Amino acid sequence: MKFDLISKDKSSSARAGIIKTSNGTIKTPVFMPVGTSANVKGIHQRELKNDIKPDIILGNTYHLYLRPGIKIIENAGGLCNFMNWNKPILTDSGGYQVYSLSNNRKIKESGVKFKSHIDGSYHFFTPENVIEIQRSIGADIIMAFDECPPYSKNYNYNKDSMERTHRWLERCLIHDKKISYKYEWPQTLFPIVQGSTNKELRKISANFISEKNCEGNAIGGLSVGEPEEEMYEMTEVVCSILPQDKPRYLMGVGNPINILENISLGVDMFDCVMPTRNGRNGMLFTSEGTINIKNKKWENDFSAIDENNYTFVDNQYSKAYLRHLFSINEMLGKQIASIHNLGFYNWLLDEARKNILEGSFSIWKSKMISKLNNRL
C-alpha cells in the first residue's frame, strides 16, 4: 500500500490524499460502506459499482468467521471473489463485535473467549488467529486485534485495556510478518489507538502506535456513547501525534456532521452502518437536512427524492412513492432509502475532498453543517 498526501487545508487539519493498493486506488477522505457479512445490506454489488461508486468497502472478521466460515471464503479465492467485488476491501478485526458481546465473552491476556450470537457455540480469538483469519479473507487492509472498552471514566480499567491492546499489537505484528499472504496481493496491517476519552491515555497510545511505523493507523474506541465534544477532543489529540504521511482511519464514525468535523481534525477514512441502518428505518440524509420519509407530510409530495441526483433512485422515484413503500412495509422502500443514503455519503466525501483541493473546505464545511442540522 502507498499513501500520497496531496493537499492540506489552510484553515484546518483537513487533508486530501490517495491510497494505492493492489486492488485499486482510494481517494481520501473516504467513506467505506459497511459490508459486514460479505454484503452491504440491501444493496447489489452492481448498484455499489455502477451507482454508489465507493472506492473501498468494509467487511467484518467476526461475522465472516462465523458465517459463511473461513474455508468457504478460501475455496472462493478470498472475499473479493466470493462476493464479486473487484475493488479494495478493509476488514475490522472483530474487536468491536467482541466488545458488544459483553455478557457473552471473557477477556484474558491470551485472547477472548466468546459465545456465538448465532448458535451459542464458544470460540476463541487471539491476536495470532485473527491475523490468520484475515489472511484467509484477503482484504487489502487488515486491522490489529484490539480491546474496545465501553465508554467509561474508570482510569485504571481504560489504562489496563489500552496496555493489553498494545501487547496484542506486538503479537499481531510478529505474526503478520511470519505468515505468508494467501492470494496474489499483499495486505497492510493498521494498528489501533485506544485510551477511551482520557487525554493522557490517548497520547500514550498514539505515541506507541506511531513508533510502530505501520503504513496506516486507526483510531478506535470512539462513537461508543461518549459526548460528541469528547470524540472530537480525542480525535484532535491523536491526529496531532500520528504521522502526517500515513492515512488515519476513525472507526465506526458516523453521521454526516461527525464526519465533516473529524475530517477537519485530520481524519482520512470512515465507516459506519448509519446510511443503511437509518435508511431502513426511513431516515434520508440530504444536503439540506434529514427527512423522515414516514411522516404524513410526504404522502402527496410527488417531487423527486433528491434533486441532486446522487444515484438513479433519486430522480426515478418520488417522496410520495417512497413513503408509500414504507407504509406497506415493502422491502423495496428500504433498498431505495439505503441506496440514496450511501450515494449521499459518497457525494459528501467527494465534495469535502474537492473543497480541500480548492482551498475552501472550512467555509464550505460551516455552510454544510448548518444545513445538515435541519429537520425537513
Q: What is the pLDDT of residues 274-327, one digit of tens each?
A: 999 999 999 999 999 999 999 999 999 999 999 999 999 999 999 999 999 999
Boundary-marking domain end, from 271, 300, 335: 271
State yes or no: is 146 an active-site residue.
Answer: no
Residue-level pLDDT at 103: 75
Residue-level pLDDT at 164: 97
**Rounded CA separation 323/284 (Å):** 11
- Tell me the pLDDT band of 95, cut-offs 50, 70 and 90: confident
Choose between 150 and 33: higher pLDDT: 33
**Rounded CA separation 351/290 (Å):** 18
Is the domain of 293 the same as that of 146? no
Is the domain of 156 the same as that of 250? yes
Is the domain of 152 the same as that of 62? yes
Residue-level pLDDT at 202: 98
In sequence order, which residues have a C-beta less than 8 Å from that of residue 158 and are 6 or more positions away?
A: 149, 152, 195, 196, 198, 201
Residue-level pLDDT at 269: 98
Catalytic residue among 9, 51, 55, 92: 92
Is the domain of 266 the same as that of 297? no
Identify whether 52 is part of a domain: yes
Residue-level pLDDT at 208: 98
**Rounded CA separation 161/234 (Å):** 17
Residue-level pLDDT at 96: 74
Identify whether 243 is part of a domain: yes
Catalytic residue among 140, 271, 306, 314: 271
pLDDT in tens, 178-212: 999 999 999 999 999 999 999 999 999 999 999 99
Is the domain of 134 the same as that of 53? yes
Is the domain of 92 the same as that of 202? yes
pLDDT in tens, 341-351: 999 999 999 99
Identify whether 24 is part of a domain: no
pLDDT in tens, 52-86: 999 999 999 999 999 999 999 999 999 999 999 99
Q: Per-residue pLDDT averaged across 122-150, rounded?
A: 96
Is the domain of 175 the same as that of 286? no
Share of the chain above pLDDT 70, in %: 99
Identify whether 368 is part of a domain: yes
CA distances from 277 to 56, 108, 231, 269, 337 (A): 19, 33, 22, 20, 10
By C-alpha distance, which of 292, 288, 304 is closest to 348? 288
CATH assignment at residue 257 = 3.20.20.105
Among all chains, which residue has been given the C-alpha cell 489501533? Answer: 192
Identify whether 109 is part of a domain: yes
3-state secondary structure of 321: helix
pLDDT in tens, 81-94: 999 999 999 999 98
Domain range for 305 is 273-376
- Tell me the pLDDT band of 175, cut-offs 50, 70 and 90: very high
By C-alpha distance, which of 96, 11, 2, 80 is closest to 45? 80
State yes or no: is 92 an active-site residue.
Answer: yes
- Tell me the pLDDT band of 99, cut-offs 50, 70 and 90: low
Is the domain of 40 the same as that of 177? yes
Is the domain of 333 the same as that of 232? no
pLDDT in tens, 197-255: 999 999 999 999 999 999 999 999 999 999 999 999 999 999 999 999 999 999 999 99
Name the pTM for this structure: 0.97
Mean pLDDT for the chain overall: 96
Is the domain of 236 the same as that of 332? no
